[in-house]
A = this chain, B = another copy of it.
């Protein structure tokens, strides 16, 4: 119950701190016989890794995953897949001056109060570095989903006040990786990059919204009542560092539309004319595209002096060193996809069960 595992049948447990020896995890419940594509796994890690462009942190972490078990002659064996990612560029010295000061809007204070001990090196377990293990597990889930022709595509749809009003149907999602911001609208992405570079120069940070789209989910995936598919997706997204919002389908806009306009009318081939439902009815997939938005707050680590207190409640000042992200969204795109893949595949496995 200590919060470090995810999923029921395809269950991922992770470990590791930002400045420890290694991070990693165990995937328990991966079916046997999958030929793993290691290049694709590395590709996902590269999409998440720091230092990939000018608009993200300049820390260098190569993030190589080493698989320790569960694979024999390139095939999964049905036994647990253990893996580690060693920490290399972990300069703990950057954090010595923070040893006894709480960084504002970080979890330094709450972790110390909960555990009575504090790994002050870069947030320890609470660092977003932990998501590297999620990306490995998610990359495997993606390969399993591909067997069923299910594809997940996330992209940045807003940065601060910069956003498009276009529906995702109008976008060419093949262009997501064309720019470092991972926004499929090239013109808008240029504005976003310019804006983030400005933010970075001032030592400040900004948030935004990632939209995720999932295609070809069979009808009936998800469980009723407490474990509705969108509730599981929501929990998965809200578990990602810095996420403050989850909405699916019509979302906030849907709270303002009358029922007569909001209802998705069936055509005569199991699809609906509109998709305000976001591909989910009563917690179960209805065969239409699933789509949702994930809102991120600005990164808490800014490069300017801030007031704070230390562990003895004395007033203090804080000035963070090191290399940090002015905007976490481009690197969060593969994390959103990874968590979506974990939810989807887990529910796909679960759905096999309840037919005689």
Contacts and interface: CB of A to CB of B under 8 A. Distances in A.
Q: How many copies does the complex hold?
A: 4
A263 B119 CA distance: 21
A26 B81 CA distance: 12
Interface in A313-356: 313-315, 349-356
Given A79-B17, A234-B234, A315-B268, A26 B26 contact: yes
B225 A231 contact: no
A107 interface: yes
Interface in A234-262: 234-236, 238-239, 244-252, 254-260, 262
B231 A239 contact: yes
A29 B4 CA distance: 9
B105 A84 contact: no
A46 B112 CA distance: 36
A105 B79 CA distance: 20
Interface in A26-53: 26, 28-29, 31-34
Nearest to A223: B3
B299 A259 contact: yes
25 contacts: A1-B1, A1-B227, A2-B11, A2-B80, A4-B224, A5-B13, A20-B68, A22-B68, A26-B26, A31-B354, A32-B356, A33-B115, A33-B117, A68-B84, A79-B124, A79-B125, A79-B224, A109-B219, A161-B256, A207-B256, A231-B239, A244-B251, A254-B298, A259-B299, A268-B313
